Amino acid sequence: MSSPTPIAFWFDFASPYAYIANEWIDALAARHGRTVQRHAMLLGVIFPHADLKPLVNYPIKGEYARRDILRTARFERLPFAFPEAFPVSTHQAARVFWWLADTQGQEAAAAWVRTATRAYFTRGENISEPGVLRALAAEAGLDGAAAEAAWSEPRWKDRLRQANDAALQAGVFGAPFFVIDGEAFWGNDRKPQMDRWLAEGAF
């Protein structure tokens, strides 16, 4: 018997709702005998294709979103503090992710996601700054020089470009975005639907 396909999880390191989802997705998958395949991408690349912009840039809705993000983190009983610099560019953190995913595997890459998103969303560390990334790489036990090379080498720039293209192919227009056996679920708030889908199959 083949093992069930992993849950695909598309995210941007600067998405607060993706940070929240990143904290529950592995447990949800494990409850249903699944694993998680993470895909780092850049919402800044995706949004124009979908005629969208960062949530907090919308009038009225943006104000609501700031409040809803804080409340949703409390609802999930997760630590959260809005970073002063928000949103920030995340291509460097994302390239480190793909370097780890492709050379050391999903588990190492997932650990990096946790390290970087927790630093950003609980301690406000600006993950677009090289000095911060270097310190976080050390905190994550990575080879600092290799991590730094990963965020500037053409190979990993290309890898991230491929991931953005794949995201568009997969119909991604925001984060967190999940695909379970071909079915797409967008948003932290689709957890209950994903849970039933995994338990009972398509409904």
Query: Nearest CA to 153 among 95, 68, 93?
Result: 95
CB of 23 to a copy of itself, least distance (A): 17
Give the nearer residue to a copy of itself in terms of CB position, either 67 or 84: 67
CA angle, corner 126, sides to 106 and 128, nearest 5? Answer: 65
Rg from Cα positions in the chain: 16
| Residue 176 beta carbon to a copy of itself: minimum distance, rounded to whole angstroms | 13
What would the DSSP string read from start to end of 96-162? HHHHHHHHT-HHHHHHHHHHHHHHHHHH---TTSHHHHHHHHHHTT--HHHHHHHHHSHHHHHHHHH
Shortest separation between residue 74's beta carbon and a copy of itself, angstroms: 5
Nearest distance from C-beta of residue 66 to a copy of itself, angstroms: 12
- List residues near a copy of itself by CB under 8 A: 49-52, 58-61, 63-64, 67-68, 71-72, 74-75, 168, 171-174, 184, 186-187, 189-190, 192-193, 196, 203
The nearer residue to a copy of itself, 48 or 141, going by C-beta atoms, is 48
52/135 with CB nearer a copy of itself: 52
**Structure token digits, residue 139:** 């905190």
Q: Which is nearer to a copy of itself, 30 or 50 (CB)?
A: 50
